Amino acid sequence: MEKQVVDGLREVFQSGRSRPLQYRKQQLRALHHLISERQADIEQALKQDLNRNTYNTSLFELISIENDIKLAESDMADWAAPQPVKKNLNSALDDVYIKPEPLGVVLIIGTWNYPWAMILQPLVGAIAAGNAAVLKPSELSEHSARLMKELLPLYLDKEMYQVVTGGVSETQELLKQRFDHIFYTGSSVVGKLVMEAAAHHLTPVTLELGGKSPCYIDKNCDIAVACRRITWGKFANCGQTCIAPDYILCEPNIQDRIVEEIQKTLLEFYQKDPKSSPDYCRIINTRHFDRVLALMNECTIALGGESDRSQCYIAPTVLGDVLPHFKIMQEEIFGPLLPIVTVNGLSEAIHFINAREKPLALYVFSSDKTVIKRMLAETTSGGVTVNDVLMHYTVDTLPFGGVGNSGMGRYHGRHTFNQLSHHRACLIKSFAMESLNDARYPPLTAARLRKAKFFMQHRLCSLIISTTAAQLLIP
* Judgement on whether residues 301 and 394 belong to the same structural domain of the protein: yes
- Note whether 192 and 357 are within 8 A (CB): no
Among 401, 436, 451, the domain boundary falls at 401
* Judgement on whether residues 12 and 26 belong to the same structural domain of the protein: yes
Establish if 464 belongs to a structural domain. Answer: no
* Judgement on whether residues 151 and 236 belong to the same structural domain of the protein: no
* Cα separation, 361 vs 243, whole angstroms: 6
What's the pLDDT tens digit per position in 56-69?
999 999 999 999 99
Specify the number of domains making up the chain. 2
pLDDT of residue 465: 41
* Judgement on whether residues 321 and 393 belong to the same structural domain of the protein: yes
Which of the residues 242, 281, 299, 312 is marked catalytic? 242
- Note whether 204 and 181 are within 8 A (CB): yes
* Judgement on whether residues 157 and 195 belong to the same structural domain of the protein: yes
- Note whether 39 and 62 are within 8 A (CB): yes
Q: Is pLDDT of 404 > 80?
A: yes
* Judgement on whether residues 301 and 195 belong to the same structural domain of the protein: no
* Judgement on whether residues 234 and 312 belong to the same structural domain of the protein: yes
Cα–Cα distances in Å, from 370 out to 35, 220, 321?
A: 45, 11, 27
Element (H, E) at 339: strand 337-342
pLDDT of residue 470: 41
242 is known as an active-site residue: yes
- Note whether 2 and 170 are within 8 A (CB): yes
What's the pLDDT tens digit per position in 126-182?
999 999 999 999 999 999 999 999 999 999 999 999 999 999 999 999 999 999 999
* Cα separation, 10 vs 3, whole angstroms: 10
Which of the residues 2, 61, 73, 208 is marked catalytic? 208
- Provide the phi-psi class of 345: left if phi over 0, else alpha when psi is between -120 and 50, else beta: left
* Judgement on whether residues 161 and 141 belong to the same structural domain of the protein: yes
pLDDT of residue 382: 97
* Cα separation, 167 vs 148, whole angstroms: 15
- Note whether 289 and 258 are within 8 A (CB): no
* Judgement on whether residues 61 and 163 belong to the same structural domain of the protein: yes
Predicted model pTM: 0.93
Task: Over range 443-469, report the average pLDDT.
Answer: 72
**CB burial string 299-309: b at 16+ within 10 A, e below:** beebbbbebee
* Judgement on whether residues 15 and 93 belong to the same structural domain of the protein: yes
pLDDT of residue 461: 56
* Judgement on whether residues 332 and 357 belong to the same structural domain of the protein: yes
Query: How would you class 467 by CB atoms within 10 Å of its CB: exposed for 0-12, middle for 13-18, buried for 19 or more?
Result: exposed
Containing domain of residue 149, as a range?
1-210+410-424
* Helix/strand/coil for 43: helix
Backbone phi and psi for residue 170, each to the nearest 5 degrees, phi listed first: -65, -40
Task: Over range 333-348, report the average pLDDT.
Answer: 98
* Cα separation, 461 vs 345, whole angstroms: 49
Rounded (10°) angle between helices 63-80 and 117-128: 20
- What CATH number is associated with residue 88? 3.40.605.10
Establish if 289 belongs to a structural domain. Answer: yes
With CA atoms as reference, report the closest residue to 42 among 120, 107, 108: 120
Establish if 390 belongs to a structural domain. Answer: yes
Among 368, 401, 434, the domain boundary falls at 401
Establish if 198 belongs to a structural domain. Answer: yes
Query: How would you class 238 by CB atoms within 10 Å of its CB: exposed for 0-12, middle for 13-18, buried for 19 or more?
Result: buried
Quote the distance between the C-alpha of residue 121 and its chain's center: 9
- Provide the phi-psi class of 33: left if phi over 0, else alpha when psi is between -120 and 50, else beta: alpha
Q: What confidence category does residue 456 fall into, taking pLDDT thresholds of 50, 70 and 90? A: confident
pLDDT of residue 473: 42
Establish if 454 belongs to a structural domain. Answer: no
Quote the distance between the C-alpha of residue 102 and its chain's center: 20
Cβ count near 122 (within 10 Å):
28
Establish if 326 belongs to a structural domain. Answer: yes
pLDDT of residue 469: 41
CA angle 400, 333, 346 (to 5 degrees): 70
Establish if 449 belongs to a structural domain. Answer: no
Establish if 475 belongs to a structural domain. Answer: no
pLDDT of residue 474: 42
Q: Is pLDDT of 238 > 60?
A: yes
208 is known as an active-site residue: yes
Element (H, E) at 99: strand 95-102
- What CATH number is associated with residue 234? 3.40.309.10
* Judgement on whether residues 350 and 385 belong to the same structural domain of the protein: yes
Residue type, position 67, single letter: N
